[in-house]
């Protein structure tokens, strides 16, 4: 079977080709397909093929860290992140947030001209919040406390504004 096929105008690549790009075993790529971690893939004659442009699924720890950073940035817009210090070269910031959107960790954010504003503007879904606050091994009380403290400050601000009106 070929390493590349085309179906309905979409190019698909074998697990071997994709595994080489992602620096993983072809069986790992096939497992991602079986577990529906890769959204656009097809099984043809018993072999998995992955659509061109698909990115390697993020691991739970990576998802957790990105969502945590998103909450921190949304609640403190004066804070900034130097994305050149974060290893996102395989995906790009836009690719990461697109993966999170397609996997329903964040809501659809529409067209964005400046990708660097994504962490400040996206809305996290219930699925994303569940990962952050479910008490899994990646959760930490400091993040939960930070979010709660910021929500309290916002509530106090809103009460103050209502009193003025």
| Mean pLDDT calculated for residue range 100-110 | 91
| Mean pLDDT calculated for residue range 11-28 | 96
The residue that leads in pLDDT, 123 or 79, is 123
Asked whether the CA dihedral 85, 88, 90, 94 is positive or negative, the reply is negative
Q: Please give the structure tokens belonging to residue 3.
A: 């390493």
CA atoms within 13 A on the CB side of 58: 25
Average per-residue pLDDT for the chain: 83
| Mean pLDDT calculated for residue range 97-106 | 91
In whole angstroms, give the CA distance from residue 2 to residue 120: 43
- Whether residue 31 is predicted with pLDDT greater than 70 in this model: the reply is yes
Q: How confident is the model at residue 132 (pLDDT cuts 50, 70, 90)?
A: confident
Q: How confident is the model at residue 34 (pLDDT cuts 50, 70, 90)?
A: very high
Q: Are 104 and 63 in contact (CB under 8 A)?
A: no
Q: How confident is the model at residue 158 (pLDDT cuts 50, 70, 90)?
A: confident
Domain residue ranges in the chain = 4-51, 60-164
Residue 121: what pLDDT?
86
In whole angstroms, give the CA distance from residue 130 to residue 155: 22
Q: Minimal CA–CA distance to 71: which of 148, 153, 152, 156?
A: 148
Claim: this prediction has a pTM higher than 0.85: no
């Amino acid at each position: 079977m070929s390493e590349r096929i085309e179906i309905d105008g979409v190019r698909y690549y074998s697990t071997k080709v994709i595994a080489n790009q992602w620096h993983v075993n072809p069986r790992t790529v096939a497992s991602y397909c079986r577990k529906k971690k890769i959204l656009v893939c097809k099984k043809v004659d018993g072999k998995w093929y992955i659509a061109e442009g698909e990115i390697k699924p993020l691991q739970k720890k990576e998802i957790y860290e990105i969502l945590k950073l998103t909450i921190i940035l949304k609640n403190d817009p004066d804070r900034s992140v130097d994305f050149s210090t974060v290893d996102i070269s395989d995906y790009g910031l836009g690719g990461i947030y697109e993966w999170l959107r397609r996997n329903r960790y964040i809501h659809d954010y529409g067209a964005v001209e400046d990708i660097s504003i994504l962490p400040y503007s996206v809305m996290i879904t219930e699925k994303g919040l569940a990962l952050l606050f479910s008490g899994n091994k990646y959760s930490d009380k400091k993040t939960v406390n930070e979010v709660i403290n910021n929500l309290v400050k916002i509530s106090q601000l809103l009460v103050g504004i209502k009193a003025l009106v």
